[in-house]
Structure formats: structure tokens, C-alpha cells
Amino acid sequence: MILFRHGVASADPLPDGVLLWTRCTTDSAGPIHVDWWVSRSPAPEPAQLVARGTAEASAARDFTVHVDAGGLEPATTYWYGFRAGDVSSPVGRTRTAPAPDGPAGHLRVGLASCSYWSCGFFNAYANLATRDLDLVVHVGDYIYENDHVSPTRRAVRAHRPAGRVVTLEGYRARYAQYRTDPDLQALHASHPVVAVWDDHELVGDAWRGGAGAHSTARHGKWEDRRDAAVQAYFEWMPVRRPGRESVFRTVRLGALADLVMLDTRLVGRDRPAGGGGRPVVRAEGERSLLGEDQWRWLEAEISSSTARWLLIGNQVMLAPLALFGVAGGLGVNPSQWDGYPGERRRLYDLLRRTGWASNVAVLSGDIHSSWAAELPVGAEFVSPSVTSDSFARTVLPRLPGVSAAVRRWFMWQNRHLRLGDLQHHGYVTVDVGPDRVQGDTWHVETITRRDPAERWAGGWVLHDGELGLAPAPAPASAELSRR
């Protein structure tokens, strides 16, 4: 018996193609031939079919299927599905990227990060699935390899199998559980997703030579665990691999925008200053965050870009956060760009030197809180967590006496911040037009049960050719004009 228990997904759209994914659940040990199709309608009627073929699912890749479907038209919505024997998969919907020589047009992007199974239900994914979007950017912590429950709460639902995952079989099982979630399946079946990993797809507090949450004595060699995590990631996530064990790449979105996805976690990251998430006064030396290969690639990508806007997908927050003074003060989280100040200066210098003195929107996550920040070259929108313990739950209890007045003082100290919410879960939508980018933050009402209730937490606008963020009077239009 063959089942498609883990749904379908699409990713990394091109003007003439898109990457498709599914997985076969089977008792068979041998390879399985899987037919796939792409259609102009939800039903694969012969007159509507535009692409089809056969792929193979085998034990070597945990019976996952990756198909690079080509021959499609730009900026077009398609439906797709799979079939093995007499069993059909759910039907997914996807959309190709605009043509590079087409009109500037309009784009709408979702932004999400940090979905911890045991913390609660993925209501943010459910709501993103219903929105009219061109694609969703996921900046990491798609799964969590650990099984920690905060002392301030009880688990809403349990990891199965329980405990920390270390082996290839463990990482595969963790992805398999997450991909049974109906809201996560709905997200993937509704929009193409452009994803990069952060640390928890690997190990908590990971860097290129190890991880804060990895012990050789208890968990074995770091290289073996890293390789197992990377293999499972590329099996279970539809991601275009440009020939290296990393996830940095560019998705070109026509004349309007280039989406540059960075790897600030694994390929070039030195051990963070301070270690263990402890605050640190300045970084100890000039640590690497991207690595020289990625720097060379990044310069080539943005130097050659002719788009109106540069969108940078980035795991960890770029804008500085300080508790006591903005310049040279006590950093809140040395694992983000605050712990690599030389790298941040280098990025700003590179952007200015290559003609990006404005029109840059950085899309980040990781810190489990909502931020909108002005940058020297544009702006940053930071998504709250889907479910992972909020900044308020994990950090503020360690700071007794923190009050609303102290939070206001914090925002005053960090005057480049325009939004700062430490408590809520949700996601961001980014509306990209020729003359402005608007980032809207959406907070769900609960994660302890499946509930679509949400509210707009505010929006901020970056105008073409200008610096600074202006408050938005209302959310950007929920519907796109599909020409």
C-alpha cells in the first residue's frame, strides 16, 4: 500500500518552472515509480495538462520525490499532483516567477519562522495558506531537533518519538511528524515556499565547527550529526541545490525584485561571541558569519541585479538590539549580527558600493518576536515565531521587574526600531510594488488550539529611493491583480 501522508509542496519558482515535492509512505523496500503532472486547472484533464513525467522514490532518499517541472509560463498559477499505482496525492497549487523582461508589476510575499511542534498549533501557517501570495519565505527553524519544554509552560502536543534527535533516522522522523500537520500541509499545498535552515534543523546554537547544544561525549561526532541533519533537510525540504552543502541562492522575481537567501548559520559562521546566548560587550575579534565563498557569491549576485528592490532572506536579525546604548553597548543576542559587527559593516559597505543605498528589505526571523527596523540601506522586517516560545516568555522572566515602562525605554534606546513586540506569535506579509514595500505584521490570538483568529499588529512602508519607515494606515490590499 502506498500513501501520500505528508502532502505535497512546491518551491523556488522560476519564470518557466518550479520545484515539486512529495513523499510516498510504503512498506516496499524497492523503488517506486511516481507519476507527476502540472495543469492549468485543479483536475489533470488532458486539455489542461502542461507538463507531466515520472520520478522515482527510493529508500536512499527516504522515499521523497523531487521534480523540477519546466516548460511553464511566467507569473502563472498552476496546479499539480502525483500518482503511484492507483493512489493519488492531494492536489497542490503553485505559481511561477515573473519574466525578467516583463512589467514591474506587484508581488506579495509571506514571511515565517520558528515552528516548534510541542509549543502549540500552527495557526500562522493556516492563515498564510488562505492569503493571496506569490510565495512564502521561511527563514528557518522549520523543525526543532530538541524536545525541551519551558518551565513556564506545559507542552501542548508531544513529539513522537520523544527526545532529542541525533541520527539520520531521528531527523527523518522529526520531519515526518511535522509534515503530518494539516496547517503546514495546507501552506505547502497553497504557495511555493523558499526556505533556508537556521540552527534547529541542525542543532541548537549551531555554527560551522559545532553547536552549543551538541556534546561529543553524549551525541557523537559533530560532523556525523551535521551530515545526518543536512541529508534529512535536503530530502524533506524542496530546495534547489546549487552544487554545495548550503542553502544560499537567489530567486529572481522579474523586474520588480530579486530575493537573495543567505546562510548565516552553517557555511561560514564562526563560534558566536559570549557562547550559550549570554550577553557580551562587543564581539571578541572579527568573527566570520557568511564565509568568503558566500561573500564572493553575494557580491556577484547583487552587483548584477537590475531589479527595483532587493529582498534579503536572512535567518538572524540584522538590526542592532542594545540594552544600554545603541553604539558599543550590551548586545541582547550575540548569535545574531550583533555578535558579528564587522560582518554587518561589511554588508552595509557592500550594498552601498554595488548601488543599493536604499531599496533593500531584509526579511528575518529567529528571535521569536516582531520587529520593524530602519537600516542604513533600507529596512528590516522580523517575523515573530509561529509557535516557539516568545522572547517575552524565555527572556523577560530572567529580568525581574521588567515593566511596560522598561519596554518603552528599550525602544527609546533603540531609536531605529519602529515596531517591537516581544510576546505574540504570527507571521509577516510583505507587499512589494514599484514605488514602495510594506511589511505587515499579523498576530494569532492563540496557539493552544486550532483557531484562525488573528489581528493586524501594524504595518510600515519603505518608499522607493528613500530611507526610513513610514507607518501604514492600514494593511496592504489582501488581493493581488492577476494579469
Q: What is the mean pLDDT of residues 380-399?
A: 81
Contact between residue 377 and residue 360 where contact means Cβ atoms under 8 Å apart: yes
The per-residue pLDDT of the chain, averaged, comes to 91
**Cell 541548537 sits on residue:** 204
- Predicted TM-score (pTM) above 0.85: yes
Q: What is the mean pLDDT of residues 30-48?
A: 94
Cell numbers at 372, concatenated: 520593524
Report the percent of the chain where pLDDT is more than 90.
80
DSSP designation for 385? P
User: CA angle, 318 as apex, 313 and 323 as ends, to 5°?
Assistant: 150
Q: What is the mean pLDDT of residues 141-151?
A: 85
CA atoms in the 13 A half-sphere facing the CB of 301: 20
pLDDT-based confidence at residue 192 (cuts at 50, 70, 90): very high
Cell numbers at 266, concatenated: 552553517
Q: State the pLDDT at residue 243.
A: 67
Q: Which residue has the higher pLDDT, 483 or 270?
A: 270
Beta-carbon contacts of residue 120 (< 8 Å; ≥ 6 apart): 156, 157, 387, 425, 446, 447, 448
Cell numbers at 238, concatenated: 524542496
Q: How far apart are CA 311 and CA 314, in angstroms?
A: 9
Query: Does pLDDT of 191 surpass 50?
Result: yes
Report the percent of the chain where pLDDT is more than 70.
90
Q: How far apart are CA 90 and CA 80, in angstroms?
A: 9
Q: How far apart are CA 476 and CA 437, in angstroms?
A: 10
Cell numbers at 74, concatenated: 511566467
A 10 A CB-CB count for 398 gives 7
Q: State the pLDDT at residue 131.
A: 97
Handedness of CA 51, 56, 60, 65 (dihedral sign): positive
**Cell 534579503 sits on residue:** 312
The predicted-structure confidence for 277-327, as pLDDT tens digits, reads as follows 343 444 445 789 999 999 999 999 999 999 999 999 999 999 998 876 544
Q: How far apart are CA 386 and CA 90, in angstroms?
A: 24
Q: What are the chain's domains?
A: 1-97 (2.60.40.380), 98-471 (3.60.21.70)
> Strands 64-69 and 92-95, how do they pair?
unpaired
Q: How far apart are CA 387 and CA 134, in angstroms?
A: 24
DSSP designation for 286? -
Q: State the pLDDT at residue 159.
A: 95
Q: How far apart are CA 50 and CA 277, in angstroms?
A: 51
Q: How far apart are CA 120 and CA 442, in angstroms?
A: 17
> Strands 77-84 and 87-88, how do they pair?
antiparallel
Q: How far apart are CA 276 and CA 205, in angstroms?
A: 8
3-state SS assignment for residue 415: coil
Task: Using the CB atoms, write b or e for 160-176: b if 16+ within 10 Å.
Answer: eeeebbbebebbbbbbb
Q: How many residues does the chain have?
A: 483
